[in-house]
Amino acid sequence: MTGLSAAGEVPAAGADADPSVWKGPELARPGQWRLRLSEARIAEIDSALRETRRRDLTLLRLTAADFPLPSLAAGLARLSETLEGGRGFAVVRGIPVERLGETAASTVFWGIGRHLGQPVPQNADGLVLGHLRDTGRDPGALSAPGHRTREAEPFEAAPSAPGHRSREAAPFETAPSAPGHRTREAEPLHTDPTDLLALLALRTPSTGTRVRLAGSAAVLGAVQERRPDLAERLHRTYHFDRRGEHAPGERPWTTAPLFSRHDGPGGAPSTRYDRRRIESAQRFPEVPRLEPADRELFDLVDSVAASPEYRLDLGLTAGDLLLVNTHRVMHARPAFEDDGPPDPSSHLLRLWLALPRGPGGQDAHPWVTLRDVIRPRSTAAPGATNPRRYPA
């Protein structure tokens, strides 16, 4: 798939409907979307890890061939079919992260990811392996020093080494929703600008790490049915703030319709929705102004997606690998329900992957070097390589 087209209707529910059209209660049984690794598959992973160490390979040069999974690879290929042509998400349970430790678990995560797709940068500094921790900070609002909130997704990519700074997922202080704004409400469900989102839970609280999903096709189909007068706006092109993550000379925003199809009317459906980025792009005078009807549309999308009729709430435990096709599934972190401090035990790894038959990351930065250690962008040399290796 190489192109995007705004033509085509949102898939409708029904016996012969696209399998990506689902509602949360229909998938309430974890057995429908959760797979557990057998001891034999874990042994394959251990063997691949030993081979990687023996060859002393750098993580970012590691390919699927360098991380051989003779039997598991076939299962991952079948899983890819579900991600691309089915419900669009799955959880793989049982990666032994406690035994492996963070470094080896990162290598395993990368190796499995390479069997599913090509890692793409998550920001303009070339970050491809993100470390997400609960900092208690609001990623979407301007805040004073010491201010914190229990809003949804208070995760921030942590530095990979002392002295290295990461901008990923930090509060964007020049595009707040309102000065001093603070909320405990869950953020709207959204999509990331890539084909496949992969999250590996290294450590989770005793209650697990909560994630909220919603099938994009079902949500937008409901919007189309309830407000046909707004349906045309699903195919309009909107501007998404890149929040400073763009190359010199590039525009600080990207554009995409909320709903489109790859390669024309009969192609695979794709949803691109992130209300925070759409609204913060309004700070640029060159970006067309949103109309009241646009905000009505966003309100309806947010309301439908978060409703019990459509959403699916999951709990991730250590060793769980969540895979989400972002063209088909929205995701979010639900709001916290307590007033306690941030939980330092929450630690996830994140990859953005371009699928072999997908269009690739919609906001990828081909001019930067792929690396898992962040350096200030002024020192990011396009031809540089990462010398860091993963010890035994």
Among 3-12, 42-51, 141-150, 244-253, which stretch is predicted with the lowest mean pLDDT? 141-150
Token pair recorded at residue 347:
């630690």
Q: What average pLDDT does the segment 73-93 reach? A: 94
pLDDT at 157: 38
Token pair recorded at residue 135:
């900092």
β-strand partners of 354: 118
pLDDT at 147: 32
Please tell me whether the overall predicted TM-score, pTM, comes out greater than 0.75 for this model: yes
CA–CA separation, 254 and 275 (whole Å): 13
Q: Which of 322, 274, 329 is nearest to 24 (CA)?
A: 329
Token pair recorded at residue 208:
């697990």
CA distances from 223 to 219, 296, 303, 334 (A): 6, 11, 10, 22
Whether residue 4 has pLDDT greater than 70: no
Q: What average pLDDT does the segment 354-358 reach? A: 75
Q: Is 387 or 227 the better-scoring residue by pLDDT?
A: 227
Binning pLDDT at 50, 70 and 90, where does residue 30 land?
A: very high
- Tell me: the pLDDT tens digits for 186-225? 567 999 999 999 999 999 887 778 899 999 999 999 999 9
Whether residue 247 has pLDDT greater than 50: yes
pLDDT at 9: 56
Binning pLDDT at 50, 70 and 90, where does residue 245 land?
A: confident
Q: Is 71 or 390 the better-scoring residue by pLDDT?
A: 71
Are the beta carbons of 126 and 370 closer than 8 angstroms? yes
pLDDT at 159: 37
pLDDT at 169: 35
As a whole number of angstroms, the longest Cα–Cα distance in the chain is 61
pLDDT at 124: 81
Q: What is the mean pLDDT of the chain?
A: 77
Coil, helix or strand at residue 38: coil
Are the beta carbons of 202 and 341 closer than 8 angstroms? no
pLDDT at 166: 35
pLDDT at 13: 53
CA–CA separation, 145 and 150 (whole Å): 16
Q: Residues of the chain with pLDDT > 70: what percent?
A: 68
CA–CA separation, 144 and 39 (whole Å): 49
Whether residue 141 has pLDDT greater than 50: no
The residue type of 372 is D
Instruction: Indicate the helix (H) or strand (E) that contains 157.
Output: strand 155-157
CA distances from 372 to 164, 367, 377 (A): 11, 16, 14
φ/ψ of 56, rounded to 5, equals: 55, 50
Q: Is 214 or 124 the better-scoring residue by pLDDT?
A: 214
Token pair recorded at residue 109:
């995560």
Q: Is 182 or 321 the better-scoring residue by pLDDT?
A: 321
Q: Is 163 left (phi over 0), alpha (psi -120 to 50) or beta?
A: left
Among 97-111, 236-250, 312-326, 350-364, which stretch is predicted with the lowest mean pLDDT? 350-364
H-helix segments, 23-71: 39-55
Binning pLDDT at 50, 70 and 90, where does residue 120 land?
A: very high
Q: What average pLDDT does the segment 233-240 reach? A: 96
